[in-house]
Amino acid sequence: MAVQSGKDLLIKLDMTGSGGFETVAGLRATRIAFNAQTVDVTTLESAGGWRELLGGAGVRSAQLSGSGVFKDAETDEKARALFFAGDVPDFQVVIPDFGTVTGPFQITAIEYAGEFDGEATYEMSMASAGALSFAPA
């Protein structure tokens, strides 16, 4: 796999609830993290005292985050409305030359900031709220 451009890692929001995904406006930096809890089933009888884990058990989750320039675009307005309503719409994350992750996420934080001599910025965090699907590129 060749080196990929960071600007091609996109976070998209389902604007209509019917699969009308649009890239969240103004983002400069994006991130997705996958996590899996482990279930420890180690006992006194475990070979050599090594920890044993129960495969396929535990909770899986994903977190999205992004930061960028506040543009007050349609996607910004939608994100604010979703945050205050506590809704869990579908998001898509396009990972270049890897694939697309799609599923429900809840916006868990929105932060706005600005300096007197600079641009207004924002940061947004999302947590997975259900099963995610993956479609390879």
CATH number, domain containing residue 89: 4.10.410
How confident is the model at residue 11, as a pLDDT? 94
Host domain of residue 58: 6-136
Q: What is the mean pLDDT of the chain?
A: 92
Count the residues in the chain: 137
In a domain, 110, yes or no: yes
Does residue 1 sit within a domain?
A: no
Quick: pLDDT tens for 62-73.
999 999 998 888
Q: Is residue 87 part of a domain?
A: yes
Rounded average pLDDT over 84-109: 95
Structure tokens at 2: 């060749």
Ramachandran angles phi, psi of 19, nearest 5°: 90, 15
CA distance 8 to 60: 25
Beta-ladder partners of 13? 22, 91
Q: Is residue 42 part of a domain?
A: yes
Tell me phi and psi for residue 97, to 5 degrees.
55, 15
pTM to 2 decimal places:
0.87
Return the ∠ at Cα 100 (arms to 4 and 110), rounded to 5°.
90
Domain count, the chain: 1
